[in-house]
A and B are shown apart, each in its own frame.
Chain A
Amino acid sequence: MEIISLHNVKKYYGSKENTVKALDGIDLTIRQGAFTAIVGASGSGKTTLLNMMGGLDVPDTGEVIVDGVNLSGLKEEQLAVFRRKKVGFIFQNYNLMPTLTVEENILFPLDLDGSAPDEGYLREIIELLGLKDRLTAFPDMLSGGGRQRVAIARALAAKPSIILADEPTGNLDSQNGQNVAGLLKMTTELFHRTLVMITHNMELAQLADRVVRLQDGRIV
């Protein structure tokens, strides 16, 4: 069963002779529960593609269908609810709230949605990600790897069906990168989430069920 499908998605920036083709006719389907890695040089359109899947960006032409809903048919407020319920984001620079503790950061998406936390589930995630002793710490007291683990927990907290990770290991050394990528794979598999991860690192891309290569806005 496919959870994400893109049909002939195009996104151009600039105009006339200065046109940059960020995405140039992408056709892609992603199976529910699969781990897909997106690789490609910088500027090949990886992030634009990921943003399309998460409803952070809209295509010029073509359609993006996530869990049966065409995202271009949604209004801005509906997109916000969609992102809150369906998608968990993980960024290269963590994007944690510096004024909130680790625990508050993890619970943040649930607060936004006004839904009650599933205690058992959260405890399991926190334990798996080794954050049990750091719950009252603030993000800047943690290492890069630690912060990214908090971001993983936060992405999983609201039980979204899809986790989108944009170079989650980009700011980490290879050892922490392996740790974080391994944990990300393990937790998403354990809870049957669909994971799409952008990476530069071919060794990490191997962990995926499928590797999608982008070049100049096209899948090669």
Chain B
Amino acid sequence: MRERKDGIIRFGMILAGAVLWGSFLYIVWIWVPRAGIRYLLILLWAGLCLMGLVGNLLQRRQVCRFADELCGTLDELMAGRKPERYIYYEDTLVSKVQGKFLQFYDLMSEERRLSRQDKQVIQELVSDISHQVKTPIANLQMFLGILQSHDLSEEKRAEFLEMTAGQTRKLDFLMQSLIKMSRLETGTFTLHVEKTDLYGTIAEALNVIWAKAEAKDIRLSVECDSALTARHDSKWTAEALGNLLDNAVKYTPKGGSIQIGVRPWQFYTRVDIADTGIGIPEEQCHQVFKRFWRGQEAAAQEGVGLGLYLAQEIITKQRGYISVKSVVGEGTTFSVYLLT
């Protein structure tokens, strides 16, 4: 359709050109009596027409070259490599369009990279899970084997049963953490972030550690205006704060204290969890959030190294962040920043 239209236009233009030429010649013949001037005018007019024609041809060649360059770029990009002849960062039209193509290409490769990365995360997760589950299962099998095949006194029997129960608890705890982790990592679970009050969330987090803190004679204090709100998912944030509090209780010696303070800021609401525990050396502050990472000082405490990692995942998914300040021997403060 387009081509036919172009054809009609071209035909029209030739016709118009002929008519213009004809009328020009006619006018010159009638109105210009002196032959010299007459021929000069015709020559000038013809020159003008020629220039227009040449200009047109030149432009057409330029457009062709432009199209060729772009096609070349596209060919190279389709072949999966960055164009060699690409004139980087020139202020020309070709460079500009090529730049856009490249940006688009980068965007696509970025998406490919992200999906590859997601796949890798899942693979690592699976291997981590199987690795972590191995030990308690092996222990369970051993204890059960002993219980089945040996004639044991009632006392010994109870002891092994207790150990079996302990391993089952550990396995259960591990599985719970792993399930939460995989749900967060694989995005099968979405956080319902809404502006709700923080007080209830903190109270829920405290529920988990109340008894443990009491057993260790640790004083808990909370400083939070009950009217304060922040954009967060109450259930999961309580889980994250609970993990941080659980950590605080674990690494704070008997008779210490844990303070929770909330400060509303312009963009973030900051929740501080300050303990008087053993502290974290500065060079490790950055690592504590890594999956299955456990400090050397932490070896005495039971745990699998998932609590802080999970806490950070949960908070980051809500577009917040966690930072940590610590002095070895004096205590640690974890600060959770939630969008106000």
Contact = CB atoms under 8 A, between A and B. Distances in A.
A178 B97 CA distance: 39
A68 interface: yes
B90 to A, nearest CB: 6
A102 to B, nearest CB: 16
Contacts of A78: 88-90
Given A130-B267, A179-B265, A206-B323, A1 B88 contact: no
Interface string B294-326: 000000000000000000000000011101110
A28 interface: no
B266 A145 contact: yes
B267 to A, nearest CB: 4
Given A81-B90, A85-B99, A186-B319, A1 B113 contact: yes
A82 B114 CA distance: 25
Contacts of B293: none
Contact of A74 (B89, B99, B325): B89
Contacts of B95: 81
Interface string B51-95: 000000000000000000000000000000010000011110001
A179 B88 CA distance: 37
B82 A68 contact: yes
B88 A183 contact: no
Given A78-B88, A185-B321, A178 B268 contact: yes
B89 A85 contact: yes
Contact of A178 (B106, B113, B337): B337
B215 to A, nearest CB: 32
Contact of A182 (B88, B103, B321, B324): B321
B192 interface: no
B231 interface: no
A199 interface: no
A5 interface: no
Contacts of A179: 265-268
A190 B316 CA distance: 11
Contacts, number: 62
* Secondary structure of the B contact surface, majority rule: mixed
Contacts of B106: 161
A82 B88 contact: yes
Interface in A182-205: 182-183, 185-186, 190, 192, 202-204
Interface residues of A, number: 32
A30 interface: no
* Secondary structure of the A contact surface, majority rule: helix
Contact of A159 (B103, B321, B325): B103
A203 B325 contact: yes
Interface residues of B, number: 27
B267 A182 contact: yes
Contacts of A47: none
B265 A202 contact: no
A206 B285 contact: yes
B85 to A, nearest CB: 14
A207 interface: yes
Given A1-B113, A203-B325, A178 B270 contact: yes
A128 to B, nearest CB: 8
Contacts of B285: 206
Nearest to A67: B106
B91 A32 contact: no
Contacts of A203: 323, 325
Contact of B89 (A81, A175, A185): A81
A77 B82 contact: no
Contacts of A186: 319, 321
Interface in A1-52: 1, 32-33
A74 B266 CA distance: 43
A135 B228 CA distance: 28
A212 interface: no
A45 B9 CA distance: 66
B128 interface: no
B162 interface: no
B110 interface: yes
Question: Which one of B88, B103, B113, B324 has the greatest number of beta carbons of chain A within 10 Å?
Answer: B88
Nearest to A69: B88
B286 interface: yes
A112 to B, nearest CB: 11
13 contacts: A74-B88, A81-B89, A81-B91, A82-B89, A85-B89, A179-B267, A182-B321, A186-B319, A192-B110, A206-B323, A207-B321, A207-B323, A211-B286
Q: Which 8 A-B pairs have the closest CB atoms?
A: A81-B89, A78-B89, A82-B89, A179-B267, A186-B319, A69-B88, A206-B323, A203-B323
Interface of A: 1, 32-33, 68-69, 74, 77-79, 81-82, 85, 130, 145, 159, 161, 175-176, 178-179, 182-183, 185-186, 190, 192, 202-204, 206-207, 211
Given A182-B268, A182-B337, A186-B319, 13 more contacts: A32-B110, A68-B82, A69-B88, A77-B91, A78-B89, A78-B90, A79-B89, A82-B89, A85-B99, A145-B266, A179-B266, A206-B323, A207-B323
